[in-house]
Amino acid sequence: MLDPATGVEGYRCVETRLRLRALDDASIANYVAREAPFDCAGSFKAEALGSALFEWIRSDDPTAIVGLPLIATLELLRYCDFDPLANH
C-alpha cells in the first residue's frame, strides 16, 4: 500500500497455519448440505459450522483464512493516517 501523502509504501504478510480434522464422508456430506460453502475460500465458513472442521488455527490475523486479512488491512490503513473509526 502506498501512502499518497508521504510516498511511503507499506505491506504486511500474514502467515496463517491451520490443521483440518480428519473427517469421514458422512461428516463432509452433512457439512456441505448444512452450510453450502461453495462461495467461500477453501469451501469452509470459519465463522459458522466450518469451525468444526479445524483442529487448530494459528495466526496473528485469523480473518486471513477466509480471504482478505482484515486486521492487517486495517493496520495498513492506519499506517496511511486513515482511521476507519473516525468520522469521515
Domain that holds residue 38: 16-79
Query: What are 17-70's pLDDT values in tens digits?
Result: 999 999 999 999 999 999 888 887 777 777 788 889 999 999 999 888 877 899
56, three cell numbers: 487448530
DSSP conformational letter for 76 = H
- Residue 87 in domain: no
Sorted by sequence, the CB contacts under 8 Å of residue 50 that are 6+ apart come out as: 31, 35, 37, 40, 44
Helix (H) or strand (E) run with residue 59 in it:
strand 54-59
pLDDT tens digits for range 70-81: 999 999 888 888
Is residue 70, in this structure, part of any structural domain at all? yes
How many independent structural domains does the chain possess? 1
